[in-house]
Each structure stands twice: as structure tokens, then as C-alpha cells.
Structure 1
Amino acid sequence: MEPGGQFELSGAPLDNLHQTCREVNGHLAQVKSVGDTLDVGFLGMGFHPTARRDQIPIMPKARYDIMRAYMPKKGNLGLDMMLRTCTVQVNLDFGSEADMVQKFRIALALQPLATALFASSPFLEGKPSGFLSWRSQIWTDTDPDRTGMLPFVFEDGFGFERYVDYALDVPMYFIERDGVMLDVSGLSFRDFMKGALPGHPGLFPSLKDWEDHLTTIFPEVRLKTFLEMRGADGGPWARLCALPALWVGLLYDGAAQAAAWDLVKDWRFDEMRALRDAAPKWGLSAPVPGNRTLRELGQDVLMIARQGLAARNILNDADESEAVFLNILQQMVDDNRTLADQMLADYHGHWHGDANRAFDEYLY
């Protein structure tokens, strides 16, 4: 359970997208079955469409209490991130440090495309927010010490050690000792490693402390023992399998990975940052380096991803390759219409300005 009651499945490492989709479908079927008996529903959107922050019940967890106290010190929307947003993430492994570096760079540069393709959070407290992904916009005013695009990833010499240096300088939230969560928010992990943590002299970190600390870092792509794609809104059942298909298609085939890198390798970092800032508001219309739009880039990216999945040639029982999961994204790009665009059209159309209708149409 996430801070505002968001319900998370931490999926198992699996071999292919057919397995991943079966796992997600099985999980959601169980959730729906249990929810039906309790008269509880689960909504597939990136941000709660109607509730105010003070209407969200807070999950009783010491970690969340510490974060809630610290978040307002570092930005205006951190509590909204905790309580009212919902994302779907994809975790991808890598074969070497060099493979990690290239995958990280491609994924970070193209994360705004995922934000646009999966935008499903256009409402704030029952009204249009002015953004297609209000969830993504929230991250721009959450905590600059632990969020964002990470320019050093594109610098010469980037690798595991450079990411560790970055993570060491991200202020801590908490440490756990004997089942008790200790508030060390804002303190330095480097001091912790020296046994000089203020208020806890002589206390040294364990490997679990480091693993816990890495979970409190929230860039657009996060490195742990795998790469975590963090740019997409939560979404309806039919779209959940498309997100891993996009990234696996781009990054799990050598030719596709090289082609994806060719698309972004000449981008300047300031252009990438501008694209990240534009994607939540403009979606597929956001401008891309080279006088193009995200929609036009999306056509190229989906072609590469489809070729990458076809090359894997992993078929389901109907002899369909993993590329079948990209069809819904292809339709969206062809129509130049994200789910958020559709939601807004419905809001101004047959919903008659009532964002509560989202609970009818987008429940799992």
C-alpha cells in the first residue's frame, strides 16, 4: 500500500512480455474479485480526478510519516505526489556496465515520450488542470535533491560509481533499527558512512540501509540492480502491457537499442530538459529537437520497438509476437490523441463537466 492507498504489485522477474501481461492480468483479476466483495473499486488513472489532498486517507506507516513531514520543506507538491498520484513502472535488467549506461541514456532521453503516450491525469479536484499529465507535472515541484533528469548520466565516464556518488549526496529520509523507523531526514549518507550522523554518533550503515536509501531517490529513471522507468501515469487495464512492450522493444535487442540511441545521441541536455518540461502539458504535440513533435518521434520509436520485439520472436499461444502489445500505442500516435485528450473530450462532451464519470469508465 502506497501512502494514499494506491495499491502496488511488485511483479516477479520474468522472461518475456506474455508472462508479464499474464501476471498483471491475474493480479488485477484478483484485486477486482476481492474489491467487489468489499464494495471497493480501483481506478486506472495517474492522479485522483476529484479528491482534495485532505480527503485522502493516509496509510499508517512510519516511513510515510517521516516523508510527509519532510516533503513540504523541499517543494510545494510533494504531498500530492505521495497521496494523489499513481504510476506504472517498468524494471529492466542490463548485461554489463556499458549496457547499463546506454540503456540509461536512451531511457532518460525518451522518458518524456512515455509521459505523453501514457498521459491519463488531466484533472485536478474535478476540473481540467491545464496538463495532460498532472502527475508528471507534480514531480517538477516535489524535491529537486532527488528528482529530475540527471545531467551527469550523459557525461563522459558515467557508470556505477558516478551514480553512487550522486546517491550519496541525496539527503536521507530514515533508517530502521530494531523495527523502529528513525527520522534522519535531510542528513547525509556520507556522514552516516563515517559514523558521524548527527544524533547517532558511532552508528554505521548496513547494506540494507543503502538499499533503503536508494528507494528514496526519484529521478525519471532510477538505477538499483536494474533500471526503473518512472515517466508513465497509471492507466486502464488495456494499456498496462503496452508500457513494458515499449521499453523491451527498444532496449532488449541490439539493433533496436542502437537505432534508439541514434534518435537521441545528438540532443543537448537543455533540449532534453525542455522536452521533459513540455511533455506533461502538451503531450504528443510537445516539440522535440530537430523541429519535430513527440508524435513524429513516437512514430519512429514505435517502429523501432516493433522491430525489436519481432526480432525476439517470442510468441504466445495465438502465434502473436510481443509486438501485439504495441498496437494500442500505435493507434494513439496515428490518431494524435492520448488517453488524457480523450478524457478531456469526454469531460466537455457526454460527461457534461462531471469528472466523477471517470469512476464509471476507468475502474479496473
Structure 2
Amino acid sequence: MARDQIDMTPLQSRDELVAWFEAGIKPPSEFRIGTEHEKTPFTLEGRQPVPYEGARGIGALLEGMQLLLGWEPIMERGNIIGLYDVTGGGAISLEPGGQFELSGAPVENVHQTQAELMAHLAQVREIATPLGIGFLGLGMTPSWSREQIPVMPKGRYKIMSNYMPKVGKYGIDMMYRTCTVQTNLDFSSEADMVKKLRVSIALQPVATALFANSPFTEGKPNGFLSFRSEIWRDTDNARSGMLPWVFEDGMGFERWVDYALDVPMYFVKRGETYIDVAGSSFRAFFEGRNNSLPGERPTLSDWANHLSTIFPEVRMKRYLEMRGADGVPWGRLPALPAFWVGLLYDDESLDAAWDLVSHWTAQERQALRDDVPRFGFKARIRDRYLFEIARECLKLSHAGLRRRGRIDQLGRDESRHLEPLERILESGRTPAEEMLDKFNGEWGGSVEPVYQEYAF
């Protein structure tokens, strides 16, 4: 969630940066699940992008949500750009092209994730429907050009928009045209963090295939199953990717700090102002060598903000963020936290998942990640199709969720939230392939029906 942190203590030493991560360590009894999802707003009439301004714009939607929920508004230069639930910890924020993001509160089980989602959708609908706004559950906008998409009034996005074309082909598409669903999970020690990070990076392509849901660009098939995942391969390779060094000896919090110190920054926030420092490293800033802020030292806020601008397949903050999945219709959203919780929050499944991936080389992991956007389940690693690996992962996740034994009011455990993924594996096809079949069949070569069938 792009909510900028406020802690203006100047940093003195690298140890403080390491300590910032270590503060995330929790006993397993305090492990929580955070789920974030983005959805693309569109005008119900005409199916166009929704501008920020105006009586039926995104700003009006946020104002309506604020009145309904009583959440704290997040303001920037007089514009409402998000909402924050002071008691529960959830938040609503805007991505650059108006994608509407719910960053869920930290909850104890996937049933609560689903309940939170249902409440959110009811609330959003109550405000959005009278404004003539609908929401789409795809990994990428299926029919709009870059030029058509409005820009939200957030200072950080201006800086990023200027910088992106210098470092990759698709950064602007990533910002303005994609949607994701993410799961954030805890660790109990440095060793536990390393194990979970390795397993989840190696298996991120499995989530990409299971959630592949972005086969259209500007009204036509784009040649990929997850074009959103392809976009990340050429957005900014200095801050994204499969992090091969995570699998090397000596991996820990310090290694992540050293990585993050060298990732180019985008901005420094001072009061309401975003100062463009794009391209210079945090390390230079840390040493007082930032040309825009000569002699100034970064604060803990600057560090937290910088860490939120690093975009690998799995990101570490004070928890781990699974970043490989396309946005999907709401019925499938709880399946992502269920999948990762079953794999990573059950020790037996985590060990088995590590056995599954521990012998893969960095080159093999990279090749799998490179192939999955186009080939989905047909991507291969060694002599195996990703489909077989996905099936194995789902079994492990299912077993992990059953052992966790978190029961809902009807006596069902969290494994029920995997049902949409089980149906996908039964069909043998990614969601994108199913959508392409419809496009080539009953939709008659038009993407327009997605605005009905894949709307929230």
C-alpha cells in the first residue's frame, strides 16, 4: 500500500536499517494475513476510464466512502487520495490510473479475509453504483490505450511517470493499466524469513499461472496469458525480478538492506512536497551525497517509503509480500491468501515446498519466470510442466490449511477457499485461456463482455 510513513528521526547507521526489518519478527501465535487487491473502475455507461475530478469521479467516490465508513481521509494538496481505518488498520488507496485498492486489515484467517472483502464490496457498490461506476477484475485494462487513462493527483506518481520510460519499456503500462492481488505474511525469525522468501520467490510463477488473467490489450489478444507479469520483465530491472542472491549463503536482513541501499530512489517526501531524486541510490543519500538534498541524512520515513518502491516478485518489508498474481474477479480473491497461507504458515508444507524447489538453479528459476507469462501451465522447469508443480503446490497448501484447522461458522476449514484454484487445475487451463476461448467463441471477437462477466 502506497501510504507514506511519517518518522522524521535521522538515520545514523546501517544497523538501524537492519533493526527496522527485525522489528517485523513475531511469534507464530501472532501471525496475520494481509490481502491487498486492485480493481479497475469504469463508467457503467460507455465503459470508459473514470476521471478523478467531477461529480461522478474517483474523488467523489472516495468522499462518499469516507462518509459511509467514517475512515480517516488521506489528503494530498487538498485532494482526497485515500482512506485509513484507524481502528482496524485497513486502507483504501489509489493507484496511478485510478485503480481502486483495498489494503485489508491484518486478520487471523482466510475466512476473515473473505468477510472483509464481502463488506468492502457492498460498501463500494453502495457509493459507486449511483455514480455510474463499475469495477473490473482483470490483471490489465482490456480495451483502453495509455493516452485514455486519467492520472490521479499524487505527487509520487508524477515523478515515477517521468522516470519509468528511462528504465524500461512497460513502466507506464504497469502504473496505469495493471491490477494485482497480493498477500502479506509474517515470519518468526530471520531463518524463517529466509526460508519463506526462498520458497515463495521460487514458486511465484505458480501463482502467476493460477491467476493469469490479462490476455487482452486495447481490445485484442496480446499473445500472453499474463501480460501483467510480462510487463514486470521490462519495467525497471534494477528494482524487480527473482532476486537470485536470496538463495546464496549468508542471506538475511542485512543482505536485503544492502540490496535496497543500491536500488535507485524515486522521491523524498518533505511535508506535502515530493522531491524528485529519481535514479540516485539510497546509499548516496545515506552518505549525505544526494544532489537534491546536499548534506541531508535520510529518516526512517524515507527508508520505509523507499522500501515501498522496490518491486521484486516477493518483497520484504516487516512482512513478506507475494507479488506474482494478476487481479481477478472477487470470487477468486481469497484463493490467493489461502494458497500462500497453506504453503508458508504450516511447517510441514513449508518443508515440503522447500524440498520441491531447493535443487532448482537461479537460471532455471529465471527461465520459468520468463516463460510463465506466455505459456502459463505449459511453462517447464527441468523435465516438468508447471502444471504438475502447481498441482503439487495446491495439495501441499490444502494439507497445510487443514492442519491449521481454522474453522468458520459452518465448520469448514480454510481449504474451502482453494476451490476456485482446484477448478482451474481440473480444467487444465489458466483463467486467461478460458477467457480467450470465449473471445474466439461466444464473444465474437469482442472484449466488451468482460465488463459484465468479470465485473465486481
* Aligned residue in 2 for 1:78: 171
| Aligned-pair CA distance for 1:96 | 0.5
Aligned pairs (5 A) from 1:236-275: 236-275=329-368
Aligned pairs (5 A) from 1:51-66: 51-66=144-159
> Residue type matched to 1:204 in 2?
R
* Aligned residue in 1 for 2:445: 353
2:374 is the counterpart of 1:300: no
* Aligned residue in 2 for 1:217: 310
CA offsets 1:171-196 (integer angstroms, 9 cap, x no match): 01000112211000011211111222
Distance 1:188 1:139 in 2: 21
Distance 1:227 1:199 in 2: 32
| Aligned-pair CA distance for 1:294 | 1.2
* Aligned residue in 2 for 1:25: 118
Distance 2:274 2:252 in 1: 32
* Aligned residue in 2 for 1:176: 269
| Aligned-pair CA distance for 1:288 | 2.2
Distance 1:197 1:41 in 2: 44
Distance 2:454 2:395 in 1: 29
Aligned pair partner of 1:318 in 400, 405, 410: 410
Aligned pair partner of 1:340 in 425, 429, 432: 432
> What's the secondary structure of 1:200's corresponding residue?
coil
Aligned length: 363
Greater relative contact order (Cα 8 A, min sep 6): structure 1 or 2?
Answer: 1
> Residue type matched to 2:167 in 1?
K
The two structures have a TM-score, normalised by structure 2, of 0.79
Task: Pick the structure with more helix per residue.
Answer: 1
2:127 is the counterpart of 1:34: yes
Contact 1:63 1:181 (C-alpha < 8 Å) held by counterparts: yes
CA offsets 1:306-338 (integer angstroms, 9 cap, x no match): 110000111101111000011111111121011
* Aligned residue in 2 for 1:147: 240
Distance 2:424 2:286 in 1: 49
Q: Please, which moves more after superposition, 187-196 or 7-16?
A: 187-196
CA offsets 1:237-264 (integer angstroms, 9 cap, x no match): 1100100000000000110100111110
* Aligned residue in 2 for 1:362: 454
> What's the secondary structure of 2:401's corresponding residue?
helix
Distance 1:156 1:293 in 2: 29
Contact 1:173 1:183 (C-alpha < 8 Å) held by counterparts: yes
Give unmatched runs, 5+ long, in structure 2.
1-93
| Aligned-pair CA distance for 1:60 | 1.3
> Residue type matched to 1:9 in 2?
L
Q: Please, which moves more after superposition, 177-186 or 44-53?
A: 177-186
> What's the secondary structure of 1:112's corresponding residue?
helix
2:290 is the counterpart of 1:197: yes
The two structures have a TM-score, normalised by structure 1, of 0.99
Distance 1:109 1:128 in 2: 28
Distance 2:188 2:158 in 1: 38
* Aligned residue in 2 for 1:164: 257
Distance 2:355 2:281 in 1: 38
Distance 1:134 1:89 in 2: 17
Distance 2:235 2:430 in 1: 25
Distance 1:339 1:190 in 2: 42
Distance 2:256 2:370 in 1: 23
CA offsets 1:39-63 (integer angstroms, 9 cap, x no match): 1001000000000000111111110
Contact 1:288 1:297 (C-alpha < 8 Å) held by counterparts: no
Task: Pick the structure with more strand per residue.
Answer: 2
* Aligned residue in 2 for 1:45: 138
> Residue type matched to 2:449 in 1?
R
Identity %: 56
* Aligned residue in 1 for 2:370: 277
| Aligned-pair CA distance for 1:24 | 1.4
CA offsets 1:138-171 (integer angstroms, 9 cap, x no match): 0111001101000110000100000000000000
Distance 2:97 2:342 in 1: 33
> Residue type matched to 1:238 in 2?
G
> What's the secondary structure of 1:182's corresponding residue?
strand
* Aligned residue in 2 for 1:115: 208
* Aligned residue in 2 for 1:331: 423
Distance 2:109 2:335 in 1: 13
Distance 1:148 1:199 in 2: 28
